[in-house]
Amino acid sequence: MNNPFAFHVGDMRHGRSEPRTVAGQVSVDWHVELSQVKPQPPLTFEFELSAVIGGIAVSGEIEATVTHRCHRCLAEWEESVVRNVAQLIATGVEGEEDADYALDGDVYDFESLARDELLLDLPIAPLCRPDCEGLVAATGSDLNTEPSEDERAASSPFSVLKDLLDTGD
């Protein structure tokens, strides 16, 4: 078994097992719109598994480094993200067919659970800071910085009129 997210949990299917921990490190390439989980350093996860009626309770943490791009000014930054996990892996009990995560066999692949938990926690429209003003549409300059003299003059609604001034004597 060379999948770092796959673990044998068949003995927990019928509640005949003591709780145990599964953990790993893996480089992933997951992203949503303006946020991407960086492959290096690798994502780490540690889950405590407990047999419960109807399935296996999963609790623990996922930690990864994420690169965000501000949706207003397009600035990039990195941050470490830690996501707490609390899910149930259904073990085929009646009424559990529509469960988000289900055990089919003795090995469970935690990749979809980890991906869903981490990506769904990322912002849809990341902001570099709450007061980010974005970019000027015409010039692409950053409104968060002090404009140059040329940009200030070009942004004046009267700048087109300066050519109409009669400077002759």
Q: pLDDT category, 10, cuts 50, 70, 90?
A: confident
> Are residues 56 and 88 in contact, defined by beta-carbon separation less than 8 angstroms?
yes
**Confidence (pTM):** 0.74
Contacts of 116 (CB under 8 A, 6+ apart): 100
pLDDT digits (tens, 9 = 90+) for 22-34: 999 999 999 999 9
Q: What is the DSSP letter of 124?
A: S
pLDDT digits (tens, 9 = 90+) for 70-122: 998 889 999 999 999 999 999 875 554 567 888 888 899 999 999 999 999 99
Gap between the Cα atoms of 160 and 162, Å rounded: 6
pLDDT digits (tens, 9 = 90+) for 101-111: 888 888 999 99
Residue 97: C-alpha distances to residues 2, 10, 130 (Å): 28, 18, 42
Q: Which residue has the tokens 């953990």?
A: 23
Tokens of 91: 């073990």
Strand partners, 57: 50, 88
CA atoms within 13 A on the CB side of 104: 6
DSSP element (H, E) containing 115: helix 111-119
- Considering Cα of 150, then 154, then 155, then 159, what sign does the dihedral take? positive
